[in-house]
Structures are given as C-alpha cells and as structure tokens.
Structure 1
Amino acid sequence: MDPLSLLPLARATRPSLPLAAAIAPLRSGKLSACGGGGARIAPTRCRRAARMSASAVASETPRTEDAPSPSPSGQEQFDWLDQWYPFAPVCDLDPRAPHGKTVLGLDVVAWFDRGAGEWRVFDDACPHRLAPLSEGRIDDKGRLQCVYHGWCFDGAGACKFIPQAPALGPPVHKNSKACVASYPCVVQNNILWFYPRAEQEYKDVLQRKRPPLIPEIDDPGFVTVYGIRDLPYGYDILVENLFDPAHVPYAHKGIMRGIRKKEDPGRVDYDKEGGGPIKMKIEEANTEGFVSSQERGYFQFIAPSTLVGSPFAQPQEGKKTPRILLLFFCVPVAPGRSRVIWAFPRNVGVWLHNITPRWLYHVGQNLILDSDIFLLHVEERKFAAAGLDNWQKACYVPTSSDNMVIAFRNWFRKFCKNQVGWATPQVDQLPPTPTKDQLMERYWSHVVQCTSCSAALKAMKALEVALQIASVAVIGFLAIAKGTLVTSTVQRAAVVSTAVLCFAASRWLANFIQKNFYFQDYIHAYK
C-alpha cells in the first residue's frame, strides 16, 4: 500500500498509476457533512505527571546515496509529545455519543460539548473507579456522564455531579481528584486533532503550534473524501509501506496496475505486472521530516503523522490546473498497532463526488488495504527478530525505488532511536499473531468507525431480511391462492420465479455484506 495505491480503478481504465490517481476522483464517494472551523482548546483544571519522550539520537548506519539520511544535529531528538495527533474525521464522529480511541498509547475519549459547541478530548477513565468514559453518555444537561456510577463532567474536565454525595454534605465533587484530564484539541481541515499533554502550561499550545494545515481541503473549489481504518501492524511499518510505490503492481495485483515505463536501455526482461525503475530524490531531510521529488509528482513527510503528495507537479502560481492531493495521517496506536486516516482533496470529478455514496468508495479502499495486511504483519515480526538497529544490514535495498523507505528509516533511527515515544509505559513485545481472518477483518477496524459504512450495512441487512420475508410471503400467497386467484400455469410459474429471485437476491446480498463489511480473503497466488 503506497499513497497512489489507495486510488482504485477498474483494470481496463488503469494504464498507469499517475493516470489512475488523476481519474480516481470519478470513483470517489459522497462525503457526509463534516463540521468545520476550529474548536477552542479545551481548558483543563487537572494536572498530569509530565512524561518524558523516549526518542533519542541514534548512531550512524550505512545509507543509499540517492536517499540521504537526515543531517546530524548533535543531541537533537524528536519529541513525540510535542505534536498534534489526528483523532478522527469529524464526519465520522456522532455528537450524541462519546468516542474512544487509543493514540500514542493513551486511551482518550472525544465528545461534543453542546454548551460550548465544541469537541473535547479527555482521558478515557473516570477518576472514581477508572471505568471507560467512552462507554458513557451525554446527559440531558450536555455533560459527559460515566455510566458506571453516574458521575458527570463539564467541558473543562471538572466533576459537576456525584449522585452518591449528600446534597447538604461537603462538595466532594470540587476536589481536584474528581477531575478528568482534558487535552488541547482543535478541529482543522474537518479532522479533530488533539495534543497529548494535559498539564496547565500546555492549555494554550495552539497559539504556539498548530497541526499541519492543508489549504486545499478548505478551498470551496475542492471536494474531499475521508476514510479511517485500524491496522494490525505498527506505525513505522505503516509509514514505510506508504512510502513504497514499487510494491503496488505486485502486492495489489488485480486491484492496481504499475507504472508502465518507457523503454529502459539494456533491459530485456519485463513482467506483465508493470514494475520498473522509479527515480526519486530526497530533499530537505531533518528532524521535521523530508521531501521526495519524483519523475511524476512529489511527496512530503511532516513528522510524525502527515504524508502529503500528488501525482502531479506543483501548480504554477495563479494558474488553475486539475489537482488531486493524497493525504495520509499515520497514527501510532500501540506496539504492533496503527491507524491510518486518509483524505483526497481534488478539484476534478466534483459532480460524481456528489452522487456516489462514500461507502462504495471505501469498499475499494479496504480491498487495497487488505491485500498486503498479512505481508506487513509478518514483516514487522521479522524486523523485530532481526532488530530494527540492523534494518539496513538485514534488508537489501539497492534501487532508487526504495529511497523514501530508506529516508524514513534513517529519520526513525537518527531522531527516534527506532522507537515511538509512547505517552504511557509500553511493553516493546509485539502482540500475538491472530488468525488471518482476524487480521483482515473490516467490521471493527473500519465499519464501526465510519458513519457511511455503518449506515450502508444497516440498510443492506434490512434489505436482506425484507427479501427473505418476501420470498416466503410469495410462496405463502401461492399456496393460499391456488385454484382461485392464480389459475394458470404461467401465473404460478411467475409467482414461483419471483420467490426464487427474492431468495437468490437475499443470498447474493448476504455474500456481498460479508465480503465488503466483515472479511474478504486475498490470495496472491490466484491473482
């Protein structure tokens, strides 16, 4: 899976990856309304112990000439806690309920504060008995209520009501221990971001530092489709994979087609998948990321989460040209787990964007993600066995098509010591490998997080039941009406055919639901 690989097209219309990227908007889905504007930073009355970043400067290792390492900078290191992290697209957040996620090892909950008209991000733990607030509800006064014992909290994290406390007794709810840690948050580009420090000195961090801003998303001439999915491999594997265009025609065979190159002097052996040399040059490499210029387009890594690029060259100033941006936000969840949020702003294919359901677009997106999930999950474990410090010794990367991968691995080694700076103590050991159907399941990793796919699944299940009822009802009608209303053989045949068609349609729909919303295997040998 690389940035261009998440733009699926029918094979007959995919002569090359850049062309596929250019046409892909015509297959995009309809975006449900997303909240815009910026949410003010949620104030906090509760302090949390300061956390130290685990990142540090690593020693030198060999590197490829065309993919230079970030420049040495003495004791400079990447501070994972001094960054903004995307929580979810706002269009996938129901303001009527709290939403829990893990980011950087932190269990956090987002909820909509009706009184202030803003989203809030809290620790996902009630201070009473540490029950998850994400399982709670928004009460009739617009407060976040813990459903274990009914404690209620306002938008600042202050406890406003403890049902078990006597009305005329001491105001125990005002004790600082009754507060919930509240994190700075902001809605930008229709995505909810949060900053993983809850100490009082960070409440105004937005004035000093903001999430990466993508102007095209807010441009009224552009339309954008969002998506989100949890993945069973770690942050570094996700970023590395998105930076690897060479795997597309092989790992995604049958879904994506590679870039068909012009004649390569001296080459006599070609394959039908369409692989070939890819030239790219790494520039501006430092602790904040790097830029890769390519034959077609460019990509930029804005550490730690944002990957932005385009299959087209940068537009000339003041000149309107067809544009599509590829945006991926890579979220470290926990060791061996990550989350990708994607957004594709573009100023072409706008009319079809307005008539195509968003869930249909996600069907293709998830198939692409499925096709290399198992490969990446196993690869991560082999890297762990070899040791990430030995990555360049364990892997043979002699071609320029791996330059972005090498640049990222050098950045991760030099500025992060080959590890994420988790906000909470983490065990470095990877979780056990589940079965393949569990690795590739779509329901919990995507559908429950996506309002469009959840609504489509609910509607299709209802239609499936309706078709089954219709098939039984038609047969019942035939039995009752035999010899009265239905007298001819032709009429009876028509009624039976209707029943059979309803039943067959229900079975086809059940299979469609299973493949596209729960699990669909991808066997490379048969592609």
Structure 2
Amino acid sequence: MEFTEKADREGGKPIEIFVKDLDAYGFISNQELGNSQFFAPCVFYTSFSLRSKKRTPKHQDNGALLSAENNAEAPNTSQRKAMLVFMCIPVSPGRSRLIFVSLRNFAIGIDRIIPRWVFHVGQNLILDSDLYLLHVEERKILDVGPSNWQKACFVPTKSDAKVVAFRRWLNKYSDGHVDWRGKFSGILPPSPPKEQLMDRYWSHVVNCSSCNGAYKGLNALEVVLQVISIALLGVFAATNQSLVSRTARIVMVAMAVLCFAASRWLSHFIYKNFHFHDYNHALR
C-alpha cells in the first residue's frame, strides 16, 4: 500500500528526518533546521536554527553607508538558535520521570516578564497530548511483543524516523525492554483512571516552586473573592435601604455576583491547569 504525505489542516507539511550512526551509544538524526542526538539510554537533545533577522545597515548623517570597520555588524545577521534537552528515566514498569530544559539565544526578555508557571501550563498541554496515547500504546506493544512493535504502531512517514530508530536501538541493544535488574518483574500495573494517570498536581506542581507558588496564590485569591462576595451581600442585607441609593445597591449586588462568578471561574482554571486536564486526540 502506498502512503502519500499531505499537508494537514493547519498547513503543516511533511518533515524530512534522516537517521545515521545508530549504535550501542545511541543515534544521530538530521532534519531541515537542525539535528538531534539520542545518548543511550535516557538522554535526547535536539537543536535547531531559525531564520536570521537581518540587521538594518547604519548610515552616516549624509546618507553614506558606514564602512565595515566602523560598523562590523552591518553586513552580518544574528543567528537564532534553540535547544531542547530531554532526560526520560524509567523508574518502574509503566512509570518514568521526565526532566527537560529549553534553551535559546533570542526572546530572552519575555522570561523576565511572564512567570515561569505560565510556560509550564502550555508545556503540560503538549505532554498531555501524548501521555495517554503512550500509556495505551505501551500495553498494545506488550501484547504483540517488543519485536513485533510495528503491528501495534503505524509509523509510515519520514517524520517517524526517530521513533523507528529508537525501537531498533531498544530491540538490538536492550532486548526490547528495560532491564530492571531483578527489582521489578516487568509486568505493567493495572491501568489507573484517567484522572489519576494524567494528574498534574502530584506529578509536577508539588515539585515545581513556580507552579506551587502560583497554585497557592490562586487558591488564596479564590477564597478572597468568595469572602468579598459574601461580605457585599451581608452589607447589602444589613444596610437600611432608605439610607443607600438605588444605584449603590445595584452596584453592590453586581460586584457580589461578579466576585462569585470570578471565584467559580478561577476554581475551574486551577483544577484544569494544576490538577487534571483531559485530552481527546479525536477532537484535536
């Protein structure tokens, strides 16, 4: 069967990825904007360069272009580079610890303005997009056997080259599974409820100072909004209606309703971003 690669609905296009030098120490892969390397058994990094922004040449007051000696930056471009480093360590059958760091030499100022937990919320969405899929896939591969993993996975495109390369490495140099050295039998535990599997609080928030601080602060704000709402309603009920204008009463009730609605929205935001956010591939 011939498989034709097409652009997706967001305008994406096939990615050409080529793997080379696969051995016991890992493998190297190249693609259009950069390269990646897998350092066996747990470290993977990818680096890429973005199109450079051309600098505007500087001119003298009379409009003449400054010489290269006086303006060395004029003919050059600033190369924007980024790198992602992943360390995925198996800790028990069906469980791994993921540690990653993102590096770049551009748009650094935004990190000083936007709190770190805001970036983590977006990164967790990316992780959630694959977490449940990988959880199910792991069990399907176990059913057919590691050497027959292709029967459980459909990886027909060149962008799947690194997945195929890792499976080749795992089968060739690790017999298709993690060597637990007798500590575990290798049998996967029962599949937990989705809320437990994709729980963010115990897997990330309690261990992240930025997310933990935001979690406590937002919970405190939720309580404050509820207290303000109740207090405003209490003042409204206790105040002599003849002593307060109709406009003031309307404003007081409106503020109470808004504070209560804001606290409910905030409660949903906290749960969705710091506890559990369901992800359905069929709807994405």
Corresponding letter in the other structure for 1:420: V
Shift of 1:470: 0.6
Deviates more, 1:344-353 or 1:392-401: 392-401
C-alpha RMSD over aligned residues: 2.3
The counterpart of 1:289, out of the listed 26, 36, 42, is 26
For 1:385 and 1:495, locate their aligned partners in 2 and report how far apart those are by CA, in whole Å. 63
The counterpart of 1:308, out of the listed 45, 67, 71, is 45
For 2:251 and 2:136, locate their aligned partners in 1 and report how far apart those are by CA, in whole Å. 54
For 2:180 and 2:222, locate their aligned partners in 1 and report how far apart those are by CA, in whole Å. 45
Paired residue for 1:344? 102
Counterparts of residues 124-143 of structure 1 (less than 5 Å): none
Paired residue for 1:214? none
Check conservation: 2:140, 2:152, Cα contact below 8 A: no
Which SS does the other structure have where 1:325 is aligned? strand
Paired residue for 1:356? 114
Paired residue for 1:102? none
| Closer/same/farther in 2, CA of residues 286 and 268 from structure 1, 3 Å limit | closer
The structure in which a higher percent of residues are helix is: 2
Alignment pair present for 1:467 and 2:225: yes
Shift of 1:518: 0.7
Cα deviations by residue, 1:15-74 (Å, 9 ceiling, x for unpaired):
xxxxxxxxxxxxxxxxxxxxxxxxxxxxxxxxxxxxxxxxxxxxxxxxxxxxxxxxxxxx
> What is the TM-score with the length of structure 2 in the denominator?
0.83
For 1:378 and 1:394, locate their aligned partners in 2 and report how far apart those are by CA, in whole Å. 10
Shift of 1:440: 1.6
Check conservation: 2:6, 2:14, Cα contact below 8 A: no
Cα deviations by residue, 1:469-515 (Å, 9 ceiling, x for unpaired):
1111111112222246x521001101111111111111111010010
Shift of 1:271: 3.8
> What is the TM-score with the length of structure 1 in the denominator?
0.46
Check conservation: 1:280, 1:294, Cα contact below 8 A: yes
The counterpart of 1:298, out of the listed 15, 35, 53, is 35
Q: Which has the higher contact order (CA 8 A, sep 6+)?
A: 1
The counterpart of 2:238, out of the listed 466, 480, 505, is 480
Which SS does the other structure have where 2:80 is aligned? coil
The counterpart of 1:377, out of the listed 135, 151, 154, is 135
Check conservation: 1:279, 1:400, Cα contact below 8 A: yes
Paired residue for 2:278? 521
For 2:151 and 2:211, locate their aligned partners in 1 and report how far apart those are by CA, in whole Å. 43
Check conservation: 2:88, 2:97, Cα contact below 8 A: yes
| Closer/same/farther in 2, CA of residues 343 and 475 from structure 1, 3 Å limit | same
| Closer/same/farther in 2, CA of residues 355 and 275 from structure 1, 3 Å limit | closer
Counterparts of residues 364-403 of structure 1 (less than 5 Å): 364-392=122-150, 395=153, 397-403=155-161
| Closer/same/farther in 2, CA of residues 270 and 323 from structure 1, 3 Å limit | closer
Shift of 1:337: 0.7
Number of residues paired by the alignment?
257
Counterparts of residues 208-223 of structure 1 (less than 5 Å): none
Shift of 1:311: 2.9
Paired residue for 2:71? none
Alignment pair present for 1:497 and 2:234: no
Shift of 1:308: 0.9
For 1:396 and 1:502, locate their aligned partners in 2 and report how far apart those are by CA, in whole Å. 50
Shift of 1:386: 0.2
Mark the structure with the bigger radius of gyration: 2
Alignment pair present for 1:455 and 2:192: no
Corresponding letter in the other structure for 2:171: R
Which SS does the other structure have where 2:81 is aligned? coil
Counterparts of residues 96-175 of structure 1 (less than 5 Å): none
Alignment pair present for 1:446 and 2:183: no
Shift of 1:281: 1.6
Identity of aligned residues (%): 50
| Closer/same/farther in 2, CA of residues 268 and 461 from structure 1, 3 Å limit | closer
Shift of 1:395: 4.4
Corresponding letter in the other structure for 2:160: D
Which SS does the other structure have where 1:291 is aligned? strand
Consecutive unaligned residues in structure 1, runs of 5 or more: 1-266
For 1:394 and 1:332, locate their aligned partners in 2 and report how far apart those are by CA, in whole Å. 21
